[in-house]
Amino acid sequence: MKDALQWIWKQPAMVKILLAVVALVLSFAVLKLTVKNHNHFFVASEFIHVAGIVALIYKLTTKKTCSGLSLKTQQLTAMFLAARIVCSFMLEGDIHTLLDLATFVFTAWVMYMIRFKLKSSYIKELDNFPIYYLLVPCAVLAVLIHPFGTSTYISQVLWAFCVYLESVSVVPQLRMMKNAKMIEPFTAHYVFALGVARFLSCAHWIVQVNFIIST
């Protein structure tokens, strides 16, 4: 395993990207074949996201610092969660709505801590990714490409918007980590949890769309 990782690390960037794409496609295929209920993907992604936020809460409450955390990623997270909650109420409230509400509350608390309680440790200069670079394309893409069904047009576009925004919401955090040139343990755990959660959420979206098309 170690030799394989070293071999991958030595490959050119394009080869790494190709290997990553192949790995993702294979992972999606395995999940689609092994998991019968695609809603499990969504529930799992929510629980993992909450686990990542719990790691953040532990850091903020024990270390008394928000150094290395991107406020913009938290803002984008709150935006797509708010959009998904509204969309859920427009469609039907279920366990997904409750999980989103819980995650939104945790995210709002993290934002409050960064903006007010631990403001002195927030490095705004490093958190410099313009979020409109993400918001505008996601909004345009949601209008152009969104699921069709019996729900209203607004809910369809809103759902697509939150899916697209969720997939890129971690970008400011990654940019900040690159600017800081260091990764704190709790921040790394949070980003890892986000990555896994986004993967499962994307798997849920792809399998769901495939199911709708096939039926």
The overall average pLDDT reported for the chain is 79
Which amino acid type is present at position 144?
A: L
Question: Nearest-CA neighbor of 105 among 122, 81, 89, 88?
Answer: 81
Structure-block tokens of residue 123:
């490095």
DSSP label of 47: H
Cα 56–86–154 angle (5° rounding)? 130
Q: Kindly report which listed range (37-46, 54-63, 178-187) carries the lowest average pLDDT score.
A: 37-46
> 163 with 178, same domain?
yes
Q: Which residues lie below 8 Å from residue 120, measured CB to CB, with a gap of 6+? A: none
Give residue 17's domain range. 1-34
Question: Whole-prediction pTM value?
Answer: 0.77
User: What average pLDDT does range 126-131 have in this prediction?
Assistant: 94
Q: Per residue in 43-55, is it b (16+ CB within 10 Å) or e — as a string?
A: ebbbbbbbebbeb
> 22 with 73, same domain?
no
Q: Which element (helix H / strand E) includes 14?
A: helix 13-34
> 128 with 203, same domain?
yes
65-102 residue pLDDT tens: 888 899 999 999 999 999 988 888 877 666 778 888 88
> 20 with 71, same domain?
no
> 147 with 42, same domain?
yes
> 17 with 115, same domain?
no
Query: What span, in angstroms and rounded, lies between the C-alpha atoms of 151 and 168?
Result: 25
> 127 with 170, same domain?
yes
> 109 with 11, same domain?
no
Question: Nearest-CA neighbor of 135 among 199, 196, 75?
Answer: 75
Query: What is the number of domains present in the chain?
Result: 2
> 28 with 126, same domain?
no
> 114 with 172, same domain?
yes
- What's the half-sphere exposure (Cβ side, CA atoms, 13 Å) at 76? 27
> 117 with 194, same domain?
yes
Structure-block tokens of residue 65:
């610092």
> 53 with 115, same domain?
yes
pLDDT the model gives residue 136: 94
Cα 197–80–98 angle (5° rounding)? 70
